[in-house]
Structure 1
Amino acid sequence: MIKVGLILGIAGACRTDELVNLTVDDIEDVGSFLIIPRIFVVTDVGNMLELFRKYLSLRPPHVKHKRLFLYYKAGKCGLQPVGKNTMGKIPSVVASYLKLPDVACYTGHCLRRSSATLLADAGVDITAIKRHAGWKSTTSR
């Protein structure tokens, strides 16, 4: 769940609530990439699609809702959907795993910020970054 949340969060500059509300019906798997609702694409860099497909395959068939992210305990997928607070902790969990300092500073907003930084570092212009992230203004806080 953490890996897929990280992949989708950074690829789409997603807000935490956008990830929480994502459903299995929202994602179109077209073979070599995934198409997600706010129109962003996840390509198969580093086997990201394989991770996503494996995550979906672990989903119990009797889940009554369509939310994508479900809780996992003891290696098994449960029925309960992941909430906003758990989704917002993904960056701090990753930072802890990487043994980075100040783990508490890594919040759900880090996914959006990382997405914008990666695009800017790749030479993407600010207008395209704004469109990708759904920003109305170029000012940052």
Structure 2
Amino acid sequence: MNKEFLMIKVGLILGIAGACRTDELVNLTVDDIQDVGSSLIVKIPNTKTKIPGIFVVTDVGNMLELFRKYLSLRPPNVKHKRLFLYYKAGKCSSQPVGKNTMGKIPSVVASYSAVTEDAGVAITTIKPHAGWKSTTVAEGYVENSIENKTKIANQVLVGTTTSAITKTVNVS
């Protein structure tokens, strides 16, 4: 299944973990991601809100393994640093993935998934994670540390993507 959907899985993982917009994923570079062993620290330098974002992807399921596998397929002759490359039959080309391809990820995943449950993550957790503006003043006081982002990443990824990614991984 990774032979066909590895790029989609990595896009889904990063997109959900960071509440990323399509253009934020398209513009991610290999330099924006720091692999610290037990997690990834991802920086989004250019956001719609003009406030750089940062989020953490923890090793829930095999998410880090999927990311590392995808990164290892990067051809040595790629002259740009964009993370997402065109992927087919288990190989990456040097051509970067565009906004339209990235934007289709949710519909591809939805075609293999029947996830309808609420993830159980409170809006006060999601809003600062996603960089959204107010609902109440209290939401502005959520700590913006790597530790807090790791906790949020675990909540978001376990509640939302584990079943979707597992179903996508297990589809033959």
TM range (shorter): 0.7 to 0.9
**TM-score, length of structure 1 as denominator length:** 0.77
Uncovered stretches (5+) of structure 2, i.e. residues with no partner: 1-6, 44-52, 136-172
1:60 corresponds to: 75
Is 1:7 the counterpart of 2:7 in the alignment?
A: no
* Pair 1:59–1:131, CA change in 2 (3 A): same
SS at structure 2 position matched to 1:61: coil
Counterpart for residue 104 of structure 2? 89
Matched, 1:129 2:135: no
**Which aligned pairs between 1:1-40 and structure 2 lie closer than 5 A?**
1-37=7-43, 38-40=53-55
Q: State the alpha-carbon separation in 1 of the partners of residues 126 and 89 from structure 2.
A: 39
The CA RMSD over aligned residues, in Å, is 2.0
Paired residue secondary structure (1:45) = coil
Shift of 1:13: 0.5
Aligned to 1:49: 64
CA distance in 2, matches of 1:97, 1:10: 17
- TM normalised by structure 2 equals 0.64
- Return the alpha-carbon distance in structure 2 between the equivalents of residues 39 and 76 of structure 1: 29
Unaligned runs of 5+ in 1: 101-113
The alpha-carbon deviation at position 32 of structure 1 amounts to: 0.3
Aligned length: 119
Give the match for residue 106 of structure 1: none
Compute the displacement of 1:51 (Å).
Answer: 0.5
Structure 1: which amino acid aligns with 2:93? G
